[in-house]
Structure 1
Amino acid sequence: MKKLYGVIGDPVAHSMSPIMHNDLFQLYSVDATYVAFHVKPENLQDAVKGFRAINLAGLSVTVPHKQMIMPLLDEIDPLAEAIGAVNTVVNDHGRLIGYNTDGSGYLEGLKKEVPSFMDKNMLLIGAGGAARAIYYTLAQAGVKKVDIANRTVEKAEYLVNNCPFPKNSEVLSFKEAEEQLAKYDVIVQTTSIGMHPDIEASPLSVEKLKSTSLVSDIIYSPLETKILREAKQKGARIQNGIPMFTYQGALQFEKWTGIFPDMDRMQSVCLKQLGGKSC
């Protein structure tokens, strides 16, 4: 019997996950299909009941459901519990288990650009949900130094103070981060600033960026945000959000099927959908 997988969100029509996962099911001859479910927050509880009733095999979870779905599941992975968000659900013989592959997906993509990132000085820009997933995963992995810059310093302080893993972090304002930018080897932009359609916005100036740094932006629309363009002009290496998106999806696919998929193919499928090239 064909297995059913899906993604829930509000909105969800823009999601590239159905194209990406259905291509993988075909590639690996997995008898399954993956569809998008538009679920409004007030209907989430009924939707999860429905998924149980039809024995849905697995689920991707996007905004605004990543926190709200947690009490509706049977079990939460410890990292997802710490992050306070679930983006992946596995149906294990009727038990719905929640995971978070966002931070792990980011780390896998980062390894390709900076194999020795564990010993680097890192700066995280932003303190929202994506920043939390990445920061907690970096801390759990034991990265040497991860500072956080945010418009609201108190929000960044809350993130650091509530991280259950050992960490070495300072909290900075955007202005302080701009002044100290030269001391960072890896800068990770996690906010929505610069996302389409507001593509001429940037969270901070990279005037003091050193040319040996990597600037990574988790946004993939546009493929090259303003902060990435300016970093490239300074001679720095850049990375857009495609690696994080595809790796988090690959980790989902592995949890569902036991197969770690072809990453080059996944990135190619996503880039074709976006109509661009990787940077």
Structure 2
Amino acid sequence: MSIYAEVIGDPIAQSKSPAIHGYWIGELGLDAEYRATLVSGDDLATYIASRRADTAWRGCNVTMPHKQAVIPLLDALDPLAARIGAVNTIVPEQGRLIGYNTDAGGFLEPLRPMLAHDHLFRMARVLGTGGAARAIIAALAAEHVMIVLAGRNPNKAKALLDELDPGGEHHVAPLDHFAEPTDFAFDDRVGCFDLVVNASPLGMAGQPPLVFDLSHVPPGSVIYDIVTHPLDTPLLQAARKAGFQTIDGLAMLIGQAAEAFAKFFGAAPPRGDGDAELRRRLTA
């Protein structure tokens, strides 16, 4: 009997997870399968109950809108998932269903070489206060990054920071603050780490554009957009043209999938080519 894992959500047809995990399964020659399964909110409890009894099931990734709704249906949470308050990976372990969050590690993966250095100061401007922002805020706070969280509702942004890192010296700003040019004179940034993250769906196909003026970006900053459709967003295009280093949404998507894959199948995914072939397939 072949083992399998899957991704659940509503909608689910747009998910790139089957292509990612399927590629790794094929490269490793595993007798396994990775599926996409449409699960509505009304059917979530029934789905979890049915998978508990399925001995071939090795777990699932969880996408919107279930990352928080699934928590009461699980037996335990990994400490990081508990702190973030969202689950994107469920794994059966010794008869219990354990919830994990691999989004935080996936987000940090392309930043690790930079964060391995000592800095005088670390600051991130994070745009968005939705579900994706939860893991990103927790990940950055753990790396001692001061966060300026921008959202349409600054009160929601403050509540999110207070929940996820109550002892941190963070700040909030209205999202439209970054839409207008600024003449702020940034100080000497040598020895500092500056990051701008679009953690919102703005700029995604079918969503309103992200209006962000690059005059708000300190010299030497890294611009990170987690949107994957389109992959090369207007923000990334403008940032590259202005000479900034950029990171696209596939970096986080592949990074979080790699952590989940190891939990599902007990093997590290093959990434020796720096994900070049996987990226080629995902963008073909």
- TM-score with structure 1 length normalisation? 0.89
Distance 1:54 1:223 in 2: 36
What aligned pairs does 1:53-202 form with structure 2 within 5 A after superposition? Answer: 53-55=53-55, 56-112=57-113, 115-116=116-117, 119-139=121-141, 141-164=142-165, 166-177=167-178, 179=182, 182=186, 185-198=194-207, 201-202=209-210
**Aligned positions, number:** 273
Check the 8 A contact 2:9/2:37 in 1, yes or no: yes
Distance 2:163 2:28 in 1: 41
Distance 1:124 1:181 in 2: 20
Secondary structure of 2:15's aligned partner: coil
Offset of 1:2 from its aligned partner?
Answer: 1.5
Please tell me the residue identity of whatever aligns with 2:75.
Answer: D
Q: CA RMSD in A?
A: 2.3
Please tell me the residue identity of whatever aligns with 1:257.
Answer: F
After superposition, the C-alpha distances for 1:195-233 in whole angstroms (9 at most, x for unaligned) are 01347x114211342341111000111111111122122
Counterparts in 2 of 1:169 and 1:190: CA distance versus 1, 3 Å: same
After superposition, the C-alpha distances for 1:48-102 in whole angstroms (9 at most, x for unaligned) are 1111122321111111111111111111111111211110011113211000011
Counterparts in 2 of 1:181 and 1:236: CA distance versus 1, 3 Å: farther
Q: Which range moves more in the overlay, 71-80 or 264-273?
A: 264-273
- 1:217 corresponds, among 225, 228, 231, to 225
Distance 2:145 2:49 in 1: 43
Please tell me the residue identity of whatever aligns with 2:282.
Answer: Q
Unaligned runs of 5+ in 2: 188-192
Q: Which range moves more in the overlay, 262-271 or 45-54?
A: 262-271
Counterparts in 2 of 1:168 and 1:177: CA distance versus 1, 3 Å: farther
Distance 2:185 2:148 in 1: 11
What aligned pairs does 1:224-235 form with structure 2 within 5 A after superposition? Answer: 224-235=232-243
Counterparts in 2 of 1:204 and 1:181: CA distance versus 1, 3 Å: farther
- TM-score with structure 2 length normalisation? 0.88
Partner residue, 2:4? 4
Q: Which range moves more in the overlay, 207-216 or 237-246?
A: 207-216
What aligned pairs does 1:199-210 form with structure 2 within 5 A after superposition? Answer: 201-210=209-218
Secondary structure of 2:264's aligned partner: helix
Counterparts in 2 of 1:224 and 1:181: CA distance versus 1, 3 Å: farther
Secondary structure of 2:214's aligned partner: coil
Distance 2:195 2:247 in 1: 11
Offset of 1:251 from its aligned partner?
Answer: 0.6
Please tell me the residue identity of whatever aligns with 1:268.
Answer: E
Please tell me the residue identity of whatever aligns with 2:100.
Answer: Y
Q: Which range moves more in the overlay, 11-20 or 25-34?
A: 25-34
Partner residue, 2:190? none
Offset of 1:174 from its aligned partner?
Answer: 2.6
Partner residue, 2:52? 52
Unaligned runs of 5+ in 1: none
Distance 1:186 1:86 in 2: 25
What aligned pairs does 1:199-278 form with structure 2 within 5 A after superposition? Answer: 201-263=209-271, 264=273, 266=275, 268-275=277-284
> Percent of aligned pairs with the same residue?
34
Offset of 1:176 from its aligned partner?
Answer: 4.0
Check the 8 A contact 1:104/1:134 in 2, yes or no: no
Offset of 1:236 from its aligned partner?
Answer: 1.0
The ranges of structure 1 where at least 4 consecutive aligned residues each deviate by more than 6 angstroms after the TM superposition are none
Check the 8 A contact 1:218/1:244 in 2, yes or no: yes
The structure with higher relative contact order (CA 8 Å, sep 6+) is 2
Offset of 1:260 from its aligned partner?
Answer: 2.6
